[in-house]
Structure 1
Amino acid sequence: MSEIDRNRIELLVASIRELTPGQFSWLERTVQIFQCEHHYSILHSDLLDEETLENFGDALRIHHSFSVEPFSKDKFEYVLERVVNMSSERAKLAPKGNRGHDITIDNTRVSLKTQADKGIREDKIWISKFMELGKGHWGDKPADLVSLLNLFLTHLDNYERIFILRALRKAPDWIYELVEIPMQLLLLAGSGKLDMKSESKQFPKPGYCFVNEGDTELYRLYFDGGSERKLQLKNLLKSRCIVHARWEFTIPAV
């Protein structure tokens, strides 16, 4: 153990003596969580090393020591920047409200997504709000879907990589995975098959873009004509994506 590490431990022990009973209780809970069973693994990743993998997993465990709600997008953004920068200043969050990338890592613009729906499937990815479709012209003409598709393809120019943090299993035995969606896979939508649902009672009329490889559906885009006017990415085959890492851990009841 280095002299610096010994000094850090001594300072920490001294500060613990100053804690209130309530503060000490929270600290005990965190230490208890760190002693619980867990397994972290890197599958194929140029983003995470073993140290970053462990630090991100421990951040997940700290979160779930106080919450049964899955990691939200803002927590994902903040913690990823923090753990990447623990070893070197390689990451920087984009300004709040930026319509393009969420974070820059190694000078690469990255979009971050999360998935934690109740009916989550391990083999297929669903992003309920990939992007907002705005207030431009969109009615009941099938040609309107062409404009919406072009909006999606243009939006992809705003970043170079896309990562999604997926909560595959929830309390008490949590499983998270980090998956990268290849940009080339999404760009295949440019040759997808558009289908407007003219029979829908919604206005503007919703529609789909089906992206297939032979008889295999790779994914579909859903242009949601509801009040949010958003684009959903549905039924994306995880087998065509890159699984970077996986975190499994147990959070005992208080």
Structure 2
Amino acid sequence: MSASEQEQRIRRIADALPKLSEGQALWVEDMLMQFARPHSFKANPHSDIITQRFLYDFGDTLRVHHCFSKQAFTKDKFEYVFERIALLCGLPAKLATKGNPGFDIIVAGQKLSLKTEAHEGINADKIHISKFMELGKPKWTNDPADLIGLRQVFLDRVNECDRVFTLRVLSKLPNKWHYELVEIPKALLLSAATGQLEMKTKSKQTGALPGYCYVKDARGHLLFELYFDGGSERKLRVQKLLKSSCVVHATWVFSTEDVLSDDNQATGQLSLM
């Protein structure tokens, strides 16, 4: 946007302000105060998707969201905002149709699967996606051999996309939110093809028995697990996935209240610790 276009936009906003109701003016004031609060947005310099424009537009969208909510950004908002900001950055982007399996959005010709993680007790170093997908209706009895087919459903789903991203909430204290965007390598997820399968034959769960797929490195260290939930939703969970095996593309840390530590009051900088 040119300087003249920016000036015109600011004039339009200024002209509209006197016409706002008291309630509308309050909401606008809240958003302006939010933009003035301490924040720290950082992009991985090697990221091929997070430009400076994307970094700040996405971070500001998160801050606006928390003017109206104390809940973490949800998956549907993540998808919508990702598309809109990609378009603002000049990247061709289009959301997949609702319920589309495999990927959620196409950006610059790449099919992206977008996940979120915001549960209580989140582990900063290990990624947990409670509902990576629904497994549908492949054969699932109490026979451990059925896990082979269930794992193949997962592998087929991963192969339907090009890249997998998850937006994680590491902190949601009243005065500080900490988000990060992490890419889970597709090749890492596909390595489940050689993982160790285990059916929990002694489980007391009703319905189909749950199972696991343990994926380890050459030294026998666990990289991640797949958990096949035999409950009514028949969902697949990805858990204990090492963030050190992934790529952190960006982080957003910001305050939602006028609370600063003594060390930072003079500078207006937000403590990240």
TM-score tier, shorter chain, comes to over 0.9
C-alpha displacement of 1:88: 1.2
1:144 aligns with 2:146: yes
Give the CA deviation at 1:45. 1.0
Aligned residues: 254
* Residue equivalent to 1:232: 237
Identify which of 118, 121, 130 aligns with 1:119: 121
Return the alpha-carbon distance in structure 2 between the equivalents of residues 10 and 186 of structure 1. 50
Q: How far does residue 55 in structure 1 lie from its aligned partner after superposition?
A: 0.2
For 2:257 and 2:168, how far apart are their aligned partners in 1? 21
Instruction: Give the whole-Å Cα distance in 2 for the aligned partners of 1:84 and 1:149.
Output: 33
Matched residue, 1:218? 223
What TM-score do you get using the length of structure 2 for normalisation?
0.91
Of residues 81, 84, 88, the one that matches 2:83 is 81
Once the two structures are TM-superposed, the CA of residue 107 in structure 1 deviates from its matched residue by 0.3
Q: Normalization by structure 1: what TM-score?
A: 0.97
1:110-151 deviations in Å (ceiling 9; x for gaps):
000000010100100000000101123211000010110111
1:207 match:
211
Distance 1:88 1:55 in 2: 13
Is this contact kept in 1: 2:191–2:215, CA < 8 A? Answer: yes
Once structures 1 and 2 are overlaid, which stretch shifts more, 85-94 or 237-246?
85-94
What is the alpha-carbon distance in structure 1 between the residues aligned to residue 253 and residue 3 of structure 2? 31
Distance in structure 1 (CA, Å) of the matches to 2:141 and 2:128:
25
Taking only aligned residues, the RMSD between alpha carbons, in angstroms, comes to 1.3
> Contact conserved, 2:138 with 2:150, CA < 8 A, in 1?
no
Report the Cα distance in structure 1 between the residues aligned to 2:82 and 2:74, rounded to whole angstroms.
12
> Of 41, 45, 54, which residue of structure 1 is paired with 2:47?
45
Q: Identity of aligned pairs, percent? A: 48
How far, CA to CA, are the matches of 2:199 and 2:89 in structure 1? Answer: 49
Unaligned runs of 5+ in 1: none
- Aligned residue in 2 for 1:241: 246
Amino acid across the alignment from 1:197: K
Task: Give 2:220's aligned amino acid.
Answer: D
Please list, as runs of the form range in 1=range in 2, the aligned pairs for 1:149-160 lying within 5 A after superposition. Answer: 149-160=151-162
Separation (CA, whole Å) in 1 of partners of 2:91 and 2:188: 30
What is the aligned partner in structure 2 of residue 29 from structure 1? 30
Which secondary structure state, in structure 1, belongs to the residue aligned with residue 19 of structure 2?
Answer: coil
| SS state at 1:65 partner | helix
**1:19-44 deviation line (CA, Å, top 9, x unaligned):** 10100000000000000000000124
**Distance in 1 between the 2:237 and 2:150 partners?**
12
* 1:196 pairs with one of 185, 199, 204: 199
In structure 2, the residue matched to 1:56 is 58
Does residue 132 in structure 1 map to residue 134 in structure 2? yes
Q: Give the superposition deviation at 1:87.
A: 2.5
One-letter identity of the residue aligned with 1:55: D
Structure 2: tracts of 5 or more residues without a match: 259-273
**Equivalences for residues 4-19 of structure 1 within 5 A:** 4-19=5-20
Tell me how far 1:227 sits from its aligned partner. Answer: 1.4
SS of match in other structure, 1:17? helix
Given residue 69 of structure 2, which amino acid in structure 1 is its aligned partner? S
Deviation, 1:98, is: 0.7
Q: CA deviation at 1:89?
A: 4.2
Measure the CA separation in 2 of the matches of 1:124 and 1:52. Answer: 25
TM-fit CA distance, 1:5: 2.0
Deviations along 1:142-195, whole A, 9 cap, x unmatched?
A: 001011011111111210100000000003200000000001101110000000
For residues 80-115 of structure 1, the C-alpha deviation after alignment (integer angstroms, 9 at most, x for no partner) is 111111131421110111112100011000000000
Q: 2:185 aligns with which of 179, 182, 186?
A: 182
